[in-house]
């Protein structure tokens, strides 16, 4: 019934898997978001904190394989779940094709929205191998970029679709944590 309470301390204890690694946090404030837990307790700063109301998509992560805004997930709701952040998409010392495509297409300006867009693009390309422009725009509608005007981002997604298609090995590597716990 409820999460385990620590004796003499407020807050809940969370044990979850983040990018394939078991993580724990104690004394988490009951109203704390998963985004706060990821950034301030686990030191994973890839998921950005901007609007805190699900409007901007900068904190997009996979929660049990499902694309979600980490700011709208209560820390306690993530207990026992598998989370994949932008940090978990690529192998060490190697860019994921989606990241490579964003770089090559010039889809990155200030870079703040980029992690969220990379995660949302990753989600789209898992569902649709060769998305149309309309599908891309719909899939990325929840990710706001204030620099690029989106044209280069659309280019990047198209480029990424080609790269992912051509390299099934990397595609699998990028997806390896996603879906665990489903």
Is-contact 42 19, C-beta < 8 A? no
Tokens coding 91: 């192998």
- Number of other residues whose CB lies within 10 A of the CB of residue 182: 9
Contacts of residue 93, defined as CB under 8 A and 6 or more positions apart, other chains included, come to none
The structure tokens listed for 100 are: 């490579």
Distance in Å, CB of 32 to another protein, minimum? 9
Least separation in angstroms between residue 155's CB and another protein is: 20
Q: How far is CA 131 from CA 1, 30, 149, in A?
A: 44, 40, 19
Nearer to another protein, 77 or 109 (CB): 77
Comparison of 57 and 97: residue with beta carbon closer to another protein = 57
Binding site for another protein (CB under 8 A): 1-3, 12, 29-31, 33, 52-55, 57, 60, 66-69, 71-74, 76-77, 79, 120, 123, 138-139, 141-143
Element (H, E) at 83: strand 82-84
Q: Which is nearer to another protein, 66 or 106 (CB)?
A: 66
Q: How far is the CB of 92 from another protein (least distance, A)?
A: 27
Identify which of residues 17 and 170 has a Cβ nearer to another protein in the complex.
Answer: 17
Q: Can you tell me the distance from the alpha carbon of 47 to that of 41, in angstroms, rounded to the nearest whole number?
A: 13
Looking at the Cβ atoms of 93 and 182, the one nearer to another protein is: 182
Q: How far is the CB of 167 from another protein (least distance, A)?
A: 25
In angstroms, what is the minimal distance from the CB of 65 to another protein? 10
């Amino acid at each position: 019934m409820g999460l385990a309470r620590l004796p003499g301390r407020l807050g809940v204890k969370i044990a979850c898997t983040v990018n394939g690694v078991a993580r724990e946090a104690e004394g988490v404030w009951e109203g704390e978001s998963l985004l706060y837990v990821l950034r301030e307790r686990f030191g994973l700063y890839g998921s950005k904190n901007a609007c805190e109301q699900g409007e901007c998509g900068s904190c997009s992560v996979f929660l049990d394989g499902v694309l979600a805004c980490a700011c709208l997930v209560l820390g306690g709701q993530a207990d026992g779940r598998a989370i994949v952040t932008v940090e978990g998409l690529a192998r060490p010392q190697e860019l994921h094709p989606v990241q490579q495509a964003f770089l090559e297409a010039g889809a990155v300006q200030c870079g703040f929205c980029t992690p969220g867009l990379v995660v949302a693009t990753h989600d789209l390309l898992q569902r649709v191998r060769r998305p149309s422009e309309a599908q891309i725009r719909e899939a990325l509608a929840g990710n706001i970029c204030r620099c690029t005007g989106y044209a280069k981002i659309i280019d990047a997604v198209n480029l990424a679709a080609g790269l992912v298609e051509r390299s099934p090995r990397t595609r699998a590597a990028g997806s390896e944590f996603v879906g665990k716990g489903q």
